[in-house]
Amino acid sequence: EIVMTQSPATLSVSPGERATLSCRASQSVPINLAWYQQKPGQAPRLLIYGASTRAAGVPARFSGSGSGTEFTLTIDSLQSEDFAVYYCQHYNNWPPYTFGQGTKLDI
Amino acid sequence: EVQLVESGGGLVQPGGSLRLSCAASGLIFSDHAMSWVRQAPGKGLEWVSTITGSGGNTYFADSVKGRLTISRDNSMNTVYLQMNSLRAEDTALYYCARGGYYAALDVWGQGTTVTVS
């Protein structure tokens, strides 16, 4: 099973700043990596797939990078609506398609 | 617009059974793998199961293997999760999502709550 490890667990930033979230896979998943955003009381929302491709309707301030085992989600110029929990997930090859434990983006 | 609507959750005693349903609209259903993801209260996301578009292949997390079964009816645009031998640790909000077989989960339902107590 591929273990996905996200860091930090909580990231405190201010509106207008940049946030950088990390995700590490215990073995290579090439670019088969997605990022999701979840706000309280809501279902998760796909932000990034293929490690760096924004999903439909996702603002350009969200960007993903990385390949293999190290991945980053960057959010430029944070808006109030960006404060949420972010999860990475691999969908490489064979299940289980594990999620990271999440990073809470806090004001 | 693609929509997924889950139903079938509820309160069940340990050892009991439930069948969750997820009705899809706005897509060519048989073209897409479908998955179930759960979230225990106050916890993160846990992938549970995926079924391919044809229904020919199914996959399960180790934590549910042998107790949960996933199936689909492509004529009804519906995917099911049959849950047997339920345990307290199965208590969670269960989400249905499109994708999961070599693909990200790009559309999610609002979830249905299962409580085992």
Q: Is B30 in a helix, a strand, or coil?
A: helix
- Diameter of chain B measured on Cα atoms: 38
A43 close to B (CB below 8 A): yes
Q: How many CB atoms lie within 10 A of CB A76?
A: 16
Mean per-residue pLDDT pooled into runs of 10, chain B (117 residues):
96 97 95 97 96 94 96 97 97 96 94 97
| Nearest CA distance, A37 vs chain B (angstrom) | 11
Distance CA A7, CA B82 (A): 35
Give A9-50 pLDDT, tens digit per residue: 999 999 999 999 999 999 999 999 999 999 999 999 999 999
What's residue B64's pLDDT? 96
Quote the CA–CA distance of A45 and A37 in Å, as a whole number.
5
According to DSSP, the β-strands at B112-116 and B10-12 are parallel
- Hey, are the CB atoms on B95 and A96 less than 8 Å from each other? no
Q: Which chain A residues are within 8 Å of B109, Cβ to Cβ?
A: 43
Q: Which of B36, B108, B110, B113 to mutate to test the interface with A (most CBs of A within 10 A)?
A: B108
B70 in contact with A at a CB cutoff of 8 Å?
A: no
Nearest beta carbon to residue B105 from set A46, A50, A101: A46
pLDDT of residue A94: 75
CB-CB neighbors (< 8 A) of B60 in chain A: 95
d(CA A63, CA A77): 12
Helix-, strand-, coil-residue percentages of chain A, each rounded to 5: 5, 45, 50
Tell me the C-alpha to C-alpha distance, in Å, between residue A75 and each of A13, A84, A107: 11, 12, 14
Output the six-digit token pair for A70: 């190290």
Please say if the pLDDT value at position A72 is more than 80: yes
Residue B100's pLDDT is: 87
